[in-house]
Structure 1
């Protein structure tokens, strides 16, 4: 039975014990950006200010995530997670206090930056644990494991934004922010207790400089470009869909629209991970980004929330294969002692894209309406397709690497 692939992975000793807490925490992380949008919008009544604050959040996450990942690779997940989670909880409290005090936008941007800089990188940590758990004896199962990670992300972005939108529509944007932080912190704390599956700690020495060099190779740089573009897509689509729902007098429709996209992504990710595709991963990448570009161009033809929901079903289905292919390429390129950093750098590129998109699409929406935001979304998708053409030559299929170094568990 095909679904046994996922069951066999979760039955691996220690797998469910780290995957489930990480998934719970990712629901909170998935809620955070949209929580900030609704929280600040409830005070200002515009989308420019939420865009700027969310941009500050994303910029800070982009800068902070690789540094946190470097500490994780150096000292281990179980030592770095607890202080990171404490800092995140304090940062959320600071932002809530600033909003309650009706602070100036500049202070709100700083508050958003504090929240972004302390976001726990639970996705990167979970993916690194799969790589450590399955290499080298079960390396063929890594794409399925990363597909499971994609499903976890899809569930997070199904549940998280739906909860945030529902709470905001009911007049409780503060509750959405508090719930997001609570899920991220408690999920991260449970993950930190799972020491047996924590990846090996990086060994510093003569090999360190070559390890750093691996993060600057052509495939990783291309993957960072792709993640930058997908970050722009995510940042713009959140603001644009929310603005479209408000334009049509149905702010509560934003939640179901996000849910439709996430349901589509959930099903697509589940199906994608069950099959062994004949096309090479670079060809798959080109095909999926082409579908995403086509879907974003359809955004300019819609005239109702129902029509928008139908389009985001298509674009949502294109996301999970990308979220599987990116870590597959990364894991096959870099050494395990810098794998968390590599995942974090890709996440940072995505966060940087979200930062640019949040600010740019907010201004575009205020000036041109929701279709101004859709223009930012479509530009990002087309850029991904063009980069995928380059990827046909630059990216290589996954392969088992030799001479993997490292020490024991944490």
Structure 2
């Protein structure tokens, strides 16, 4: 049974502890960006200003993520996590002060945001490497994608519900509490933390981050981030513009329910199609689902389109992780995963600001158009044969 496969992974000693610790923190991560949107919009009344501040947060996350990943590869997960969480807590305090401190707090919060997805994925790779269960690594990455789907189901829906109820500060406070609590719980799991590689091994392995296959993955994650950032602003603007702000959490829930269902079904099957070809098909499906959002107006058609986008997202997340794990050396694997996350954050940063201005100028459909353009670019970039990753399926042992 598919559920037995997933349960078998979580019964590996130490796996459930680090996985669920990271899940808790990731719910907070999913709340942070949209929480800033609600917080700033409540103060200024402008989605453009909200998108700009959220963009500053995402840019800082994009720039700081790989540096945190590099520090983790140098010093280990626990030491870096504790420092990052302390700085993040102070940054959230600045967000609540308001005025110029809002931008400073957003930048510092993004730069110190713990890369829990990368840390959890690196633990799976270390835990399964060299064991009979190593062939289950794609299914472990599916669990990670399901965790992301759960996070973006519960997180934005929760913070949007709190914001619509007139408590935008509470949403950001809850986000910070979950990030810090989940991060501390993950830091306490020492047994499953990946070992720190030697300096010479890291230097030699670092060249793998410049391979065309990995650079292509970074570009694809940036495009996916544009999609995420545009939809965060556009869905909220669509609901508020209709005079029904309570609709926003429902739309998020629809999309992320199909995200969970699609990810579960994908991971339950052993696929024979090459990963690069699967990636191209999933990107094309996302693009086709996005295009109608630029024209449909009723809440039911919008919900249907968002639900269809949710089917492709978990598949893409799994495949990005699978292809990254085969493209770089284990000594820089955490840094590689953070580069993927940071590329997504960078795309989200530009999209949040751009979509916010587009919404202020031409309404929510203009914001949806930004996300649709990103999905089309992703579909074009993911065509098999654009890099050597399209034919590199088996893992090369290093």
Distance apart, 1:51 and its partner CA: 0.6
Residue 132 (1) aligns with residue 132 (2)? no
Cα shift at 1:300? 2.2
Task: Give the match for residue 78 of structure 1.
Answer: 78
CA-CA distance at 1:200 after TM superposition: 1.2
- 1:54 corresponds in structure 2 to 54
Would the aligned equivalents of 2:202 and 2:331 in 1 still touch at CA under 8 Å? no
**Aligned match of 1:163:** 158
- For this pair of structures, how many residues does the alignment match? 396
Matches within 5 A, 1:171-190: 171-190=166-185
> Corresponding residue for 1:258?
252
In the alignment, the residues of structure 1 paired with residue 328 and residue 252 of structure 2 have an alpha-carbon distance, to the nearest angstrom, of 34
Is 2:373 the partner of 1:379?
yes
Q: Are the structure 2 counterparts of residues 91 and 220 from structure 1 closer, same or farther at C-alpha, using a change threshold of 3 Å?
A: same
Any unmatched runs of 5+ in structure 1?
Answer: 404-410
Q: How far apart are 1:400 and its partner, in Å?
A: 3.3
Question: RMSD value over aligned CA atoms?
Answer: 1.1
SS at match of 2:38: helix
Q: CA deviation at 1:232?
A: 0.2
**Structure 1 position 366 matched with structure 2 position 380:** no
Of 343, 349, 369, the residue aligned with 1:355 is 349
**Greater shift after overlay, 390-399 or 124-133?**
390-399
1:53 and 1:393 map into 2 onto residues whose CA distance is 36
Match of 2:229 in 1: 235
Matched ranges for 1:10-409 at <5 A: 10-98=10-98, 103-104=99-100, 107-137=101-131, 138-205=133-200, 207-390=201-384, 393-395=387-389, 396-403=391-398
Aligned to 1:406: none
Cα distance in 1, alignment partners of residues 179 and 212 from structure 2 = 33
- Structure 2 distance, partners of 1:286, 1:212, is 27
**Distance in 1, Cα, partners of 2:9 & 2:384:** 33
2-side partners of 1:96 and 1:114: how far apart?
13
CA gap 1:196/1:62 in 2 versus in 1, 3 angstroms:
same
1:56, 1:162 → 2: CA distance? 22
Would you say the 8 A contact 2:263–2:311 is kept in 1?
Answer: yes
Runs of at least 4 residues of structure 1 off by over 3 A?
Answer: 390-393
Checking the alignment, whether the CA contact within 8 Å between 1:283 and 1:392 is kept in structure 2 is no
**2:196 alignment partner, SS class:** coil
For residues 344 and 230 of structure 1, the distance between their equivalents in structure 2, rounded to whole angstroms, comes to 15
Q: TM-score, normalization: structure 2?
A: 0.97
Query: Which ranges in structure 2 are unaligned for 5 or more consecutive residues?
Result: none
